[in-house]
Amino acid sequence: MFLNKKTIQAITNCLKDYESSVKNTAASVLGQIALPEALLSLDQLIRTTYDEEVDAQAKAIWAIGMISEGCDDGVIIPIIEHLNSNIWKIKSACLFTLAAFGERASKFATNILCGMMKNNNIFKVTVAETLIKMGVEGERYLIKTLVTLPNTDYKLKSDILASFAITNIISPNIDFIVECLYNAAQ
């Protein structure tokens, strides 16, 4: 689908609307339009991630994830800032977007996500899956964590093991991951 610049600009302007539902719909539409047209709205999408409306923030973060392939790595920084939010909807959108950036996000976000795995009371399998999607560094952290966890921490072990289901089979770590999964099944 190709939309002209005027149409994209009109949708982008809706991100500034006072009505929450209009902003949410505009961010959703931009995410669905995706590349390359939605890149014209990137600056406003980033500004919308700081909107006072939680839904508008989350949708804008998600939309950035949908167009991540065309974004430069600097866009990752505001996404990481939003991981500090106490609102799960925003954290979830950030995790989706970091996963969409993949390995490009690993140099910025791996340490932060590893900290979330250790410290936060959140849905850890989602964080683990994000680490997997960010590539080798995330996989290595999860493998190291898995082999050093005490047997009594079955919930975190289970979450990490579940995340390995989405591992890229051409990963340099795949043999070790399979071995860890095999050993965990014993």
- Check whether residue 137 and residue 83 sit in a common domain: no
* Final residue of a structural domain among 59, 75, 101: 101
pTM for the full predicted model: 0.88
In terms of domains, do 91 and 166 share one?
no
Long-range pairs of 45-52 with CB within 8 A, sequence gap ≥ 24: 45/15, 46/75, 46/78, 47/15, 48/15, 48/23, 49/78, 49/79, 49/82, 50/78, 51/23
pLDDT for the residue numbered 167: 83
131 and 90 inside one domain: no
Does residue 116 sit in the same domain as residue 47? Answer: no
130 and 173 belong to one structural domain? yes
The residue count for the chain: 186
pLDDT over 60 (residue 1): no
Q: What is the CATH number of the domain that holds 13?
A: 1.25.10.10
The residue out of 101, 124, 143 marking a domain boundary is: 101
* Count of structural domains within the chain: 2
Confidence grade of residue 171 (pLDDT, cut at 50, 70, 90): confident
pLDDT given at position 79: 97
Q: pLDDT tens-digit profile of 8-65?
A: 999 999 999 999 999 999 999 999 987 788 899 999 999 999 999 999 999 999 999 9
Note whether 1 and 90 are same-domain residues: yes
Q: Where a domain ends, among 52, 76, 101?
A: 101
Q: Please indicate whether residue 156 or residue 118 has the higher confidence score (pLDDT).
A: 156
pLDDT (0 to 100) of residue 34: 76
The reported pLDDT for the residue numbered 152 is: 84
CB of 61 within 8 A of CB of 97?
Answer: yes
Per the structure, the complete domain to which residue 126 belongs is given by: 110-186
140 and 69 together in one domain: no
- List Cβ neighbours of 47 (8 Å cut-off, separation of 6 or more): 15
pLDDT tens track for 87-108: 999 999 999 999 999 999 999 9
**Residue 184's pLDDT is what?**
67
| Pair (60, 115) in one structural domain | no
Q: Are residues 89 and 128 in the same domain?
A: no
For residue 179, what pLDDT is reported?
A: 79
Radius of gyration of the chain (CA): 18
Q: Using DSSP, how many helices (H) and how many strands (E) does the chain show? A: 11, 0
- Same domain? For 85 and 2 the reply is yes
